[in-house]
Structure 1
Amino acid sequence: MPRPTTKNDLMIAAKENYEKLNLIISKMTEEELNTPFDFSKDEKKKEAHWKRDKNLRDILIHLYEWHKLILNWVHSNQNGEEKPFLPEPYNWKTYGDMNVEFWKKHQNTSLEEATDMFNKSHIAVLESAEKFTNEELFSKGVYKWTAGSTLGSYFVSATSSHYDWAMKKLKAHKKNCK
């Protein structure tokens, strides 16, 4: 499915990719769940996240923390408190450092807790997106706090696109376990 550009497509893609991700997770074997991620032998996997995340919990926490980012950002700006999407001191050049901080923060979070947090935050993000009209989500210039982008593009990034990222990572891990 191409990147959503309407509210309807956003909601469908978010729900479908969430279900696909959960299906992959439900089919993970004990070995796959208990083997730490290791992508060091694949030279194509150079991005920092290939080294950062070591297990399913780390992926779910990453998704959860990005859900929190959009929820907090939308809530603050809707209530008249102008805030950038990325919290201080981060920006789009340093957000990798923020992701590492998320990772560090949750090293004592259990997989069960991470799963629950992710599932609840997914629902909260969809409920938040549902409150906006198609025009509010996908017309540029509606909200000055979206910095020339559309609000919907942030919701797509925090849901369906991020779920695609998670599925690719889990599939690569499953392949490594064979």
Structure 2
Amino acid sequence: MPRPKIKKDLQELSNANFEKLNNYIDSFSQTEQEEDFPKGTMNRNIRDVLGHLHHWHLMFLDWYIVGMKGEKPHIPAKGYNWRTIPALNKEIHEKYSNLDLEEIKKRFNKSHSKIMKIIDGHTNEELFERKRYEWTGNNAMGAYAIGVLSSHYDWAYKIIRKAKK
């Protein structure tokens, strides 16, 4: 499916990629799910990948809450900009490295649901009209949602699939 341009497509692709990712992970035994990937990637296992996704969900939720109050959120995060994403992702990796896979799965599922509820509460125009909200700058809120949902899930699926070959 192409990049969503309407609410219905955003909801469908986000849920489809979420299910595809979770089903793929569930296709492995518990032992296989907890195995480290081959060397060479920062995200060393499925837990790391899901922790990364979960944290980006939390960042989106923060952007949304702060932005909808009329304030300016720190996007992507306080002390970071889009050029320093590798350093931010390293910090995210470290933050979740001590949690177990089951806890990360619960958090990931919960934060996914929270964002989907936000999407449910908005119209096509509210999601996809560029510059509608000051906090989104030149972008549409939906562009940020796509970034932390459907396209991020696709990235995660590909990372895990490559590591498990």
Query: TM-score when scaled to structure 1?
Result: 0.88
CA gap of 1:88–1:131, structure 2 versus 1, over 3 A, is same
Does the 8 Å contact 1:77/1:145 carry over to 2? Answer: yes
Long gaps (5+) in structure 2: none
Q: Please provide the CA RMSD for this pair.
A: 1.2
| Deviation by residue 1:68-100 (Cα, 9 ceiling, x = unmatched) | 011110011111222132122100000111111
Aligned to 1:148: 138
Trace 1:22-33 onto structure 2 (pairs within 5 A): 22-30=22-30, 32-33=32-33
Alignment of 1:57-96 (within 5 A): 57-96=47-86
Give the alignment partner of residue 136 of structure 1, picking from 114, 126, 135: 126
CA distance in 1, matches of 2:152, 2:114: 16
Output the amino acid matched with 2:152: H
C-alpha displacement of 1:105: 1.0
Q: Could you tell me which residue of structure 1 aligns to residue 112 of structure 2?
A: 122
2:35 & 2:113 partners in 1: Cα distance? 29
Structure 1 segments (4+ residues) deviating >4 Å: none
Contact 2:71/2:135 (8 A) holds in 1: no
> What are the superposed Cα offsets for residues 117-172 of structure 1, whole Å, 9 maximum, x if unpaired?
00000000100111111001111121121110111010011000000001001111
Partner of 1:18: 18
The aligned length equals 165
Deviations 1:46-76 (A, max 9, x none): xxxxx21111100110000000011110011
Structure 1 residue 107: Cα displacement: 1.3
Task: In structure 1, list runs of 5 or more residues that go unmatched.
Answer: 41-50
Q: Is the 8 A contact 1:58 1:103 kept in 2?
A: yes
Q: Distance in 1 between matches of 2:143 and 2:94?
A: 28
Amino acid at match of 1:86: P
TM-score (norm 2): 0.95
